[in-house]
Structure 1
């Protein structure tokens, strides 16, 4: 499927769940235009000259753009042919209830924004990958939406609680330097959902979902 759509001119985005070497993994990387994977959530990985055994391994067939996420520390990225990583600082959330789905929000928002930029600048989607400034803008948008998603319980918490218009209002609020305002149009049931998750944790005396960071009733 990836080969068919690549040959049809589509952008192929690949996000493997592990980096263990295999013929299938190599084939998928060769077919993709953007590769995104999770790195260790440590400060030492921020260094631009940080060595990466995985990158060394795929050097001969590295895709046009590689993204290495570092959790709260942000992300690293590099274009094909780069000898060093470029660093994009993370967006600090105002509060965290659940990190489940934040990575998916980052991915989906990044793809959405590069498509928007391609249309606005009359460029083909694949050509956007050649422009560092457009990529940085797209990361910024994606990181803000991923940060907003941390305020909601469950991978679909944000999408179930906000309209598209509300989400863009909140993005603009973050972009302007305020992470305190949350706009709703009456669609949110998150308060009761947060209480439900909290009460379930208390009842079973467990942390529940491993990604859930909910630790109070607020």
Structure 2
């Protein structure tokens, strides 16, 4: 495992998938990029200058190889992406359309549009596969999980013992017992009011939670913290207006990544020292990244069409309240096609 002593590091396990993005232009190539909440956040964190380490079970199938190539493009470390027993990498199809009022909308498909078979879904890493990973966690600033499993919780607990911030971003309660255990370990809990109206007593008893964030879609978010030992009142942050609205997919992941990049580089102790004002400032930065992301198709589409200097210039403009309306034409894709494992036909349209 290679690391940079100058960079903070994030480890994460959960939904790391291959996104097949069908844009508004039906004649344009379908783009295949790393997706899933965990996959997006780790890729973004590497883009923002962190050492990122996804933990997954990629078996070398075309989807997993496409994910690995994409992650490597952004400097993500692949040391722990082939944990045994390996399996097919999840595939998610995203279709972007326009609603009747002309606003962009999207939907996700979990079955092959050609053969009708379910596309590969998420499978967690196993307890037997984590022994070689545990020692590496002593170097982490953050451990991220968006799905609960016994192995994920073991990894999170070890990272927490080393002073790392554990971030739990659930999309639902698939296992009540493991979900409750995750709340006891996690320092930051973030969830959508649409998918999970109430995380369930995050700051009660002996739970480790220091910051609870509830996203409210176009209304922004609300949060509370107990950096002073007792829970604060809920505090509201309205959404940062998007300079250009093309697709909202992935904006929550950019918000999370921006918040962590600004607030979590020094682990739990650093989070405590930054205080409530630091939390608010970091969340606002995350919201600025989320607003910027709305100007591109796909969960991380802007990363593929803007140089780093232009990205930073546009983010600075959004943060300063003077967003740029610069439109960047996306180049045609030269990405390899990826097929449904159960279907001989190609669903990614080269």
With normalisation by structure 2, the TM-score equals: 0.45
Of 317, 322, 329, which residue of structure 2 is paired with 1:173? 317
Query: Which has the larger strand fraction?
Result: 2
C-alpha distance in 2, partners of 1:127/1:165?
A: 32
1:70 and 2:216 correspond: yes
CA contact (8 A) 2:187 2:209 kept: yes
Aligned to 2:233: 84
Aligned to 1:59: 204
Could you list the runs of 5+ residues in structure 1 that have no partner in the other structure?
42-51, 194-218
C-alpha distance in 1, partners of 2:255/2:198?
A: 24
1:132 and 2:276 correspond: yes
C-alpha distance in 1, partners of 2:296/2:331?
A: 9
Deviates more, 1:27-36 or 1:76-85: 76-85
C-alpha distance in 1, partners of 2:188/2:210?
A: 6
Deviation at 1:112, TM superposition (A): 0.5
Flag as ranges the 4+ runs of structure 1 deviating above 6 A: none
C-alpha distance in 1, partners of 2:203/2:188?
A: 13
C-alpha distance in 2, partners of 1:124/1:68?
A: 23
Deviates more, 1:54-63 or 1:134-143: 54-63
Query: Which has the larger helix fraction?
Result: 1
Of 180, 190, 194, which residue of structure 1 is paired with 2:330? 190
Deviation at 1:171, TM superposition (A): 1.3
CA contact (8 A) 1:29 1:62 kept: yes
Aligned to 2:184: 30
Q: How many residues align?
A: 174
CA contact (8 A) 2:166 2:188 kept: yes
CA RMSD of aligned residues (A): 2.8
C-alpha distance in 1, partners of 2:279/2:202?
A: 24
C-alpha distance in 1, partners of 2:223/2:171?
A: 18
Deviation at 1:11, TM superposition (A): 0.8
1:5 and 2:155 correspond: no
**Change over 3 Å in CA distance of 1:31–1:115 after alignment to 2:** closer
